[in-house]
Amino acid sequence: MARSFEKKYWRAALFMGVVTFLGSCAAGSLPEEGSPDVALFRNKCTVCHSWPHPRRHNTREWDHYLKLMEGHMKNREISIERQDMETIRAYLHRNARQD
């Protein structure tokens, strides 16, 4: 009987873990959903790749990646206004992983 309980417990725990994981990967699960900053982020940051979640990196890491992305965009002749880049940077900083 104890084994049966343990088996049911672990199945339930596994199920909840999978549901939680899949929920965190949902397409519409960005912070500040519906804001103009999220729309800009999605529009500009999906030209070459899918959007990364802001909590993937801390602010220092985001600054590094944004510089890399500016170089990639320049090489591919993809333009972005300085103000748009600053808006995206501010959005990522507000929602970055806290270390």
Do 90 and 50 reside in the same domain of the chain? yes
The model's confidence at residue 29, banded by pLDDT at 50, 70 and 90, is confident
Do 40 and 72 reside in the same domain of the chain? yes
Res 23: pLDDT = 45
Q: What is the model's pTM? A: 0.70
Do 3 and 41 reside in the same domain of the chain? no
Determine the angle formed by the axes of helices 82-94 and 59-75, rounding to 10 degrees: 150
Do 11 and 53 reside in the same domain of the chain? no
**What confidence tens digit (pLDDT) does each residue in 42-97 have?**
999 999 999 899 999 999 999 999 999 999 999 999 999 999 999 999 999 999 99
**What confidence tens digit (pLDDT) does each residue in 7-20 have?**
666 665 555 544 44
Do 16 and 50 reside in the same domain of the chain? no
Specify whether the CB–CB gap between 47 and 84 falls below 8 A. no
